[in-house]
Amino acid sequence: MNTIDAKKFYNEVMPNKQGDDYEVARWHNTPIASVGYEQTNAAIRKYLPSTLQPASILEIGPGAGTWTKVLVEKYPETLMTLLDISREMLDRARTALGDDRIMYIESAFDDFTSNEQFELIFSSRMLEYMEDKETFAAKVADLLTSGGSAVLTTKLPHYTRLRLQGKRVSNFHTGQIAPVRLGQLLEKNGLKVQTIAAVTVNVPVFKSAKLNRLAGKLIGRLPLNPVTNTCVESYLIVATKP
């Protein structure tokens, strides 16, 4: 997926496909999606730094601001910058969150430059849309203050399994990166990986929200490995800048 496709999708295709309430369409349209919401909400709350009241936060790809609400709740004093490639998504985030202490920037992260550094960089489910992961990691490292943290969630690739099952991998979702590789890229740019953990869990074949919830409770306590990964749909990585 290149950035032009992502911009076009979130500005033009998504409103027709998912209607006026992206958050409901994305996170609550099925019982399985709602369990994914619960799991993401719990993981983000667990892994956002609680010792730090950051002076500034950058969120990359906030979409309609679903997880920004958690950031605002947890860090009510902090100035936030929301950066998204899509004007449509930023408008939705602004409607949900208002302008108080929040700045909205319409830009591809690929092109974003800033003299400011941020104490916390947060991003949920955006990285899979950005082709150049090396640039992503370098920019995150560059934009973090010393002592700052990056909390990133993204999808775990299951391309081999999908191909073995004879399923087509949509062009829209070919940009997923394995946790170890993402950790390596962040460390190559001077960050220290503190945590890699499962976020959403989707047990293959059964398509059961209850089973996903139960499996999530077990797998959430374990380090990711080839066995747990068969059920992990998305993961979270925390990296800090020394």
- Contacting positions for ligand SAM (CB under 6 A): 3, 6, 10, 26, 60-63, 66-67, 83-86, 89, 108-110, 124-126, 129-130
Nearer to ligand SAM, 146 or 171 (CB): 171
**Distance separating alpha carbons of residues 149 and 175, to the nearest angstrom:** 23
Query: Count of H helices and E strands in the chain?
Result: 10, 7
Rounded to a whole number of angstroms, the minimum distance from the CB of residue 36 to ligand SAM is 10
CA angle 98, 10, 74 (to 5 degrees): 35
Residue 137: which of 197, 192, 68, 199 has the closest Cα? Answer: 192
Nearest approach in angstroms of CB 226 to ligand SAM is 26
CB-based closest residue to ligand SAM = 63
**Residue 201 and residue 213: Cα distance in Å, rounded?**
7
Q: Identify which of residues 41 and 194 has a Cβ nearer to ligand SAM in the complex.
A: 41
Helix (H) or strand (E) holding 93: helix 87-97
Of 122 and 144, the one with the shorter C-beta distance to ligand SAM is: 122
Shortest reach from residue 120's CB to ligand SAM, in Å: 15
CB of 180 to ligand SAM, least distance (A): 22
Helix/strand/coil for 81? strand
